[in-house]
Amino acid sequence: VYVEVEDVNDHIPQSEEPSYHTYVAENSPPDTSVITLRASDGDLSPSNLSFAITKGNQLAHFKINPHTGLVSTLWPLDREDVPEYELWVTVSDGEHSSTTPVFVTVSDVNDNPPEFLEELYRVTVPSRSKTRKREALFRVFARDADAGINSDLDYSIKTSKGKKGRFKIHPKTGQVYTNKAFTPGKTFDLMIQAQDNGQPQMSASTRVLVRVANVPDTSDHPPVLPTLAPAHVMETDPPGHLVAFVNAHDPDNDTLWYYITEGDESGRFSMGVDSGLVSLARRLDHEDQYHYTLTIAATDGVHTSTAKLVVEVMDANDHRPVLSARVYEASISEAVSPGTTVLALQCRDKDHSPSTASPVYFSLHHAEALASQGLFAVDSSSGDLIVAKPLDREVCGVHQLTVSCRDRGRRENADFARVVVSVADHNDHDPVFLETMIVAKVSTGSASGTVVTRVLALDHDKGDNGRLSYSIVEG
């Protein structure tokens, strides 16, 4: 007897991975392969599935082969415009479908030279009657739109019209120092270069005119510094970003000079010696340090006054939450009641401290089989995967779910994982005879052991719960 079982479309196609992360260089030509998604369907062969980019491709920078799942570029990308794309790919069998995120990071190419914030700096510094310890005079700033090593700049003084060796520059911060004496009225003409560390290296130069001002030998009154309000900066603010403006008053109308004397041992900040402007010398990181207390000094050359400036570093949503596993596995009895916890998802986000309430939230993205839909739920705050409806192993013994963890930033970041729940059998089915009544005949005089008939029963349970034994209980 040949029996053909017709397929019922009761499975939802899904990709092999819950999410994909890949890279493509910003100078890649059109038709560059980015990634190939592979998917399966418990009902059909993969050749019957189709793929489409259904979200995140508003600029039409990517295309996908509907039959193979190959994602490729339509034209060259520019990391400085869009550093990362979040594409959503839908795989469909014609009736059911699921979506999978594909995160494409555009890797940097050194295609931008450094740029100084000013083509010409005019700086006034106080005269110095004798050589003292090394003292910061001013800082130059350059920016590079590239990333990583391609934007890592080294500063150097290329020419100095004046006395050679009088000025030194910090190669990473652009801070210019001296420990030499300065005579009032002198001027200096510097040419400073910033060069990146990419391949090929790119550079830019700026000119700095330094004028030495006279500092009085006597003064009757010290400068008066106001109470400084706390300053707030984002961890994404670039070098050169203005942090605060310090404006001291001198009753004698002497020229004042400003310095940071404490709290900036790592050289994160810059002080305009003649302007009172506090700016960033380096990019800050909230996760490393989120609070700075700087001591600001104002001097007329004779008297010095100080004040405290508190700088708070505000967190930016620059980290993606990460689930603790790519695939979670659990086993649970089909006899458990709704509300039972199957497992707890765990997710970490570096943007948030442990004391922050509910920095991330969890959700159930989709289920692989129609029979799995509605059976489970995820607590959005705790991440507990919970049984929502009674389970039946005989209907579906293994449930494959895709879950997500998202942060609460203005532009949400997310991570995805697969959960495989195996349903353990419970002895909840009685054996059932295939026939309720059997009429059998046997010849008179048949020998002992002669087979009279055969009875057959089925039990939908599994293992020992479905293993049957037979006995005559009556007659």
Query: Mean of the pLDDT values across residues 453-473?
Result: 81
Q: What is the dihedral of CA 395, 398, 402, 403, to 10 degrees?
A: 100
CA angle 301, 166, 204 (to 5 degrees): 110
Query: Mean of the pLDDT values across residues 173-194?
Result: 90
pLDDT at residue 374 is higher than 60: yes
What is the fold, at CATH topology level, of the domain defined by 14-107? Immunoglobulin-like (2.60.40)
Superfamily holding 322-424: Cadherins (2.60.40.60)
Query: Residue 131: which pLDDT band, with cuts at 50, 70 and 90?
Result: low
- For residues 93 and 7, is the Cβ–Cβ distance under 8 A? no
Query: What pLDDT, on a 0 to 100 scale, did the predictor assign at position 408?
Result: 83
CATH classification number, 115-213, choose in 2.60.40.60, 2.40.128.20, 3.90.1150.10, 1.20.120.1760 = 2.60.40.60
pLDDT (tens digit per residue) in 274-289? 899 999 988 899 888 9
The ranges of the chain annotated as CATH 2.60.40.60 are 14-107, 115-213, 231-314, 322-424
Q: What is the CATH number of domain 231-314?
A: 2.60.40.60
Query: Residue 339: which pLDDT band, with cuts at 50, 70 and 90?
Result: very high
Query: What pLDDT, on a 0 to 100 scale, did the predictor assign at position 126?
Result: 87
CA dihedral sign of residues 11, 15, 16, 17: negative
pLDDT at residue 247 is higher than 90: yes
| Pick from 6-20, 295-309, 394-408: least confident | 6-20
pLDDT at residue 453 is higher than 70: yes
Query: What pLDDT, on a 0 to 100 scale, did the predictor assign at position 162?
Result: 57
Query: Is the preceding peptide bond at 390 cis, omega within 30 degrees of 0?
Result: no
Cα–Cα distance, 164 to 251 (Å, whole number): 38
pLDDT at residue 357 is higher than 50: no
Tell me what percent of the residues of the chain surpass a pLDDT of 90: 59
Nearest CA to 270 out of 259, 262, 261, 281 is that of 281
Secondary structure (3-state) at 311: strand
Q: What is the dihedral of CA 378, 404, 8, 48, to 10 degrees?
A: 180
Query: Mean of the pLDDT values across residues 162-173?
Result: 81
Nearest CA to 83 out of 198, 194, 236 is that of 236
Query: Mean of the pLDDT values across residues 351-369?
Result: 75
Cα–Cα distance, 230 to 294 (Å, whole number): 11
What backbone phi and psi angles, to 5 degrees, belong to 464? Answer: -60, -30
Q: What is the mean pLDDT of the chain?
A: 89
Cα–Cα distance, 321 to 215 (Å, whole number): 55
Query: Mean of the pLDDT values across residues 211-217?
Result: 87
Q: Which residue has the higher pLDDT, 208 or 352?
A: 208
Query: Residue 8: which pLDDT band, with cuts at 50, 70 and 90?
Result: confident
pLDDT at residue 24 is higher than 90: yes
Task: Look up the pTM and report it.
Answer: 0.76
| Pick from 161-170, 213-222, 290-299, 300-309: least confident | 161-170
Cα–Cα distance, 139 to 171 (Å, whole number): 11
Query: Mean of the pLDDT values across residues 425-449?
Result: 82
Strands 327-333 and 360-367: unpaired
